[in-house]
């Protein structure tokens, strides 16, 4: 039987703590985190993942020290510029969700270039959440529903994005932190202790295997199993 595909979302937590544990500056953790992104993206299709959403920078992260924010933005731009060719070659469509009006112009340009170059790719849809707030996205989608007059669940879902099947958060924290709140209504959630820079293909495989072992009832009562004869 063909295995169904799934949407996996990851809160990539622990870059700074990984660096601090080693006496390194926080940006060193973010650089190692970029390596973990590459490993995860490469492993995702083999795990049956067709949509992968990664929480790269929340709207609340602007509160961090300016030097760290600037370094993260430079790293994000470099990642987009360096990875776009690899993504296109491997059938990875790259898109960015969240606000763009507060991002540096060079980052906005890199996003537009990467999205355009990978627009027709169909193996994996990689969504990067940058300057992202789920509450803000729901407000924006609700306003759009008001204009159209369609206040159905389907209309709001179309405005915010696809439902998440499995949410993973690294580094031991157990909260959603304003990430995909609507989309995670029925998501299975897995919180692991491993810091994000240490996350690898085996971690992703184990997480998806755990997800596929779950009985997802969506509020219904499971059908009784027939006794073996």
**Active site residues per annotation:** 13, 61
Placement of tokens 């997800």 in the chain: 211
Nearest C-alpha neighbor of 13 from the set 211, 198, 221, 206 = 198
Sheet holding 49-58, edge to edge: 92-97, 124-132, 49-58, 6-11, 166-169, 188-191
User: If we measure between CA atoms, which residue out of 128, 132, 58 comes closest to residue 98?
Assistant: 132
140: three-class secondary structure by DSSP: helix
| Helix/strand/coil percent split, the chain, to 5 | 50, 15, 35
């Amino acid at each position: 039987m063909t295995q169904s595909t799934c949407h996996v979302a990851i809160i990539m937590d622990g870059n700074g703590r990984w660096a601090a544990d080693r006496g390194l500056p926080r940006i060193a953790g973010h650089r190692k985190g970029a390596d973990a992104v590459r490993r995860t993206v490469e492993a995702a299709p083999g795990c049956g993942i067709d949509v992968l959403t990664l929480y790269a920078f929340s709207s609340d992260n602007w509160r961090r020290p300016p030097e760290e924010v600037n370094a993260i933005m430079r790293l994000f731009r470099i990642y987009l510029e360096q990875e776009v060719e690899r993504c296109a070659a491997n059938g990875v469509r790259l898109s960015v969700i969240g606000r763009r009006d507060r991002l540096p112009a060079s980052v906005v340009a890199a996003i537009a270039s990467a999205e355009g170059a990978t627009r027709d790719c169909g193996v994996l849809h990689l969504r990067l959440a940058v300057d992202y707030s789920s509450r803000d996205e729901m407000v924006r989608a609700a306003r759009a529903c008001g204009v159209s007059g369609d206040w159905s669940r389907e209309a709001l879902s179309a405005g915010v994005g696809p439902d998440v099947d499995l949410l993973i958060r690294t580094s031991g924290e157990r909260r959603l932190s304003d990430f995909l709140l609507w989309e995670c209504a029925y998501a299975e959630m897995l919180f692991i202790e491993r810091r994000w820079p240490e996350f690898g293909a085996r971690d992703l495989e184990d997480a998806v295997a755990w997800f596929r072992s779950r009985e997802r009832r969506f509020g219904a009562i499971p059908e009784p199993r027939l006794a073996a004869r």
